[in-house]
Amino acid sequence: MKKRLFTPGPTPVPENVMLRMAAPIIHHRNPEFMEILTRVHEDLKYLFRTTQPVVVLSCSGTGGMEATISSLFKKGDKVITVNAGKFGERWGELVRIFTGNCVEEKVAWGSAIQPERLAELLKEHPDAKGVCLTHSETSTGTAADIQTLSALIREHSDALVVVDGITAVGAHEFHFDDWGVDICITGSQKGLMMPPGLALIAVSERAQDIIKGQSMTQYYLSLKHALKAHAGDDTPFTPAVSLVIGLDEALQMIKAEGIENIWKRHESLANACREGCNALGMKLFSNSPSFAVTPVWLPEGVKWSAFNKALKNSNGITVAAGQDDYKDKIFRISHLGFYDELDMLTVIGGIERALKEINFPFEIGAGVSAVQKAFLGN
């Protein structure tokens, strides 16, 4: 059976990227690799819309979050974190470990923090050294308005603007420089269409200055080390060579398509996916939907285990389950990275087939024709 992955990381890896990584390995001090890394550094600036360095760490996105918190802040520094889901919660866990002074703002799952509330927090905590946000919260499929939030922080505070862009970069419009963001992180297995294993981190001038002045508290996950090596288009430690080479291939694809077109494609795929779900009578979970992943309430009477089994075993389709309190209550369809319009037809078509198999009543074809209409008009 053909297998099709609709999960928000890992996301499908294009064949040319896989084949490029399958070429015989080269040494990381070899000029051929240095040339690739130099090009990757340059192309990552294009992706993040920045003239500042974007460093490559060989670790997952969480490793990138840890490197950020431990490199940027010191014991006692007050940091505001927004917890609107599993990954916003992670900011808080990291801040508590590394500074011990976390102001955590909880937001209901499926909603994003509102600018007015952030303004209040900034007023209450004028001594905050940083604000940690999540652009696209993967656990809830919810997008925050980073442009507005960042502007607000820059206007009212000296706090650094720290953005988890792990499932947003490449899916949502984002301008690192123009929006005044200080740190933005993504992971290779997301919008970059790669296997997991790399974290990519853009660092503003202001953040670089602070990092330079910090005493070293980490070694492998140190942005200080990473920035120093980056200045010579190098990495401080042996990088995941094959992944960096695959990233080079993926970035060429991104440049060829054009970042604005990629943002538009994700918005359009997300919209069609929502239309398809609506047409099948399934309720959407988020009131501020991400363009990377669409979370959907399981219809009343539909059990996750039976639905997932029908999707996976009979149709070869993998979607993501709900997390934490929403396990068995929602499921999540990803359209982040290497997806096109026909893929949305496939996933909604597969959902129809699974719903039929478990005898859920709906009008067969309603979902897929809503998808077609979303793309092609009535």
Task: Tell me how far apart the alpha carbons of residues 264 and 172 are, in angstroms, rounded to a whole number.
Answer: 8
Say whether 222 sits in a helix, a strand or coil.
coil
Say whether 183 sits in a helix, a strand or coil.
strand
For its own copies, the closer of residues 236 and 281 by Cβ is: 236
DSSP structure class, residue 264: H
Q: Shortest approach of its own copies to residue 13 CB, angstroms?
A: 5
For its own copies, the closer of residues 127 and 219 by Cβ is: 219
Q: Shortest approach of its own copies to residue 183 CB, angstroms?
A: 16
For its own copies, the closer of residues 92 and 349 by Cβ is: 92
For its own copies, the closer of residues 60 and 139 by Cβ is: 60
Q: Shortest approach of its own copies to residue 176 CB, angstroms?
A: 23
Task: Tell me how far apart the alpha carbons of residues 334 and 6 are, in angstroms, rounded to a whole number.
Answer: 5
Residue 61 backbone phi and psi in degrees, to 5: -55, -40
Paired strand residues for 107: none
For its own copies, the closer of residues 215 and 378 by Cβ is: 215
Q: Shortest approach of its own copies to residue 278 CB, angstroms?
A: 26
Q: How many CB atoms lie within 10 A of CB 60?
A: 18
For its own copies, the closer of residues 27 and 303 by Cβ is: 27
For its own copies, the closer of residues 49 and 332 by Cβ is: 332
Task: Tell me how far apart the alpha carbons of residues 275 and 284 are, in angstroms, rounded to a whole number.
Answer: 10
For its own copies, the closer of residues 21 and 296 by Cβ is: 21
Residue 110 structure tokens: 């499926």
Task: Tell me how far apart the alpha carbons of residues 284 and 142 are, in angstroms, rounded to a whole number.
Answer: 11
For its own copies, the closer of residues 8 and 367 by Cβ is: 8
Q: How many CB atoms lie within 10 A of CB 179?
A: 20
Among candidates 156, 162, 104, 109, which has minimal Cα distance to 133?
162
Q: Shortest approach of its own copies to residue 188 CB, angstroms?
A: 9
Task: Tell me how far apart the alpha carbons of residues 194 and 170 are, in angstroms, rounded to a whole number.
Answer: 12
Task: Tell me how far apart the alpha carbons of residues 372 and 262 are, in angstroms, rounded to a whole number.
Answer: 20
Q: Shortest approach of its own copies to residue 362 CB, angstroms?
A: 27
Degrees to nearest 5, angle at CA 309 with 308 and 315: 90
Q: Shortest approach of its own copies to residue 158 CB, angstroms?
A: 26
Task: Tell me how far apart the alpha carbons of residues 32 and 12 are, in angstroms, rounded to a whole number.
Answer: 27
Residues that bind its own copies (CB under 8 A): 3, 5, 7, 9-13, 18-19, 21-30, 58-63, 65-66, 93-94, 97, 187, 189, 195-197, 216-221, 237-243, 318, 321
Q: Shortest approach of its own copies to residue 65 CB, angstroms?
A: 8
Q: Shortest approach of its own copies to residue 269 CB, angstroms?
A: 19
Task: Tell me how far apart the alpha carbons of residues 313 and 327 are, in angstroms, rounded to a whole number.
Answer: 20
Task: Tell me how far apart the alpha carbons of residues 248 and 153 are, in angstroms, rounded to a whole number.
Answer: 34
